[in-house]
Amino acid sequence: MKRLMVLALLLLPACEDPTLGIGATISSGGVNVSPTVSGRVGDVGVAVSP
C-alpha cells in the first residue's frame, strides 16, 4: 500500500488538475480515513486509493 501511494506522488506532476481527497467514514467502530489522489493524464482520469 505504501509503494502505491509513493508511486502516485511521484507521478502527480505528470497529471493535469491533480487533487488530493480524504474520504472519512464514521461508524460505531470508529473513524476510517481513506486518502485518494486523482488527476488526468491525457484524456484518462486516474485515481489511486489505498
pLDDT digits (tens, 9 = 90+) for 9-28: 666 666 667 777 888 889 98
Closest by CA to 45, choosing from 22, 18, 8, 6, is: 18
Q: What is the pTM of this model?
A: 0.48
- Indicate the average pLDDT of the chain: 76
- Phi then psi for residue 42, to 5 deg, are 70, -125
Looking from the CA of 13 toward its CB, the CA atoms found within 13 Å total: 1
> Distance (Å, rounded) from C-alpha 6 to C-alpha 16?
18
